[in-house]
Amino acid sequence: MAGDALCFFVNGRKVTVREPHAAMTLLVYLRTELGLTGTKLGCGEGGCGACTVMISKYDHAAKRARHMSVNACLFPLCAAHGLAITTVEGIGSTGKGMHPVQARIAK
């Protein structure tokens, strides 16, 4: 079907997934399809935090973006539609410098 596509952003880059597999997790997609291996599979149960990513969604009622952390090993890829996802690769690099979150932790 033509309407069976997901659209979301990963580290600021638009991603479109046509006919996504219903059982695929965000973690598997990030690692296998996008090559973003900084997000790790640890326990596979959401307890260790190795797979933590930030998701952001615009809250129209509050007129601002809402951010929350999720366990990518448990988060269904199909639930990513319309979201902005930030992985560890998206929060800073030696070329761009530290992300404000990294700088704050370093203090």
* Cα–Cα distance for residue pair 5/55, rounded to 1 Å: 19
pTM value? 0.84
Q: 53 forms bridges with which residues in the sheet?
A: 70
Q: What six digits make up the tokens of 1?
A: 């079907």
CA 105 to chain centre: 21
107 residues of the chain, pLDDT tens digit each: 456 899 999 999 999 999 999 999 999 999 999 999 999 999 999 899 999 999 999 999 999 999 999 999 999 999 999 999 999 998 876 777 777 777 776 77
* 39 contacts: CB under 8 Å, gap ≥ 6: 27, 30, 31, 50, 51, 52, 53, 72, 87, 88
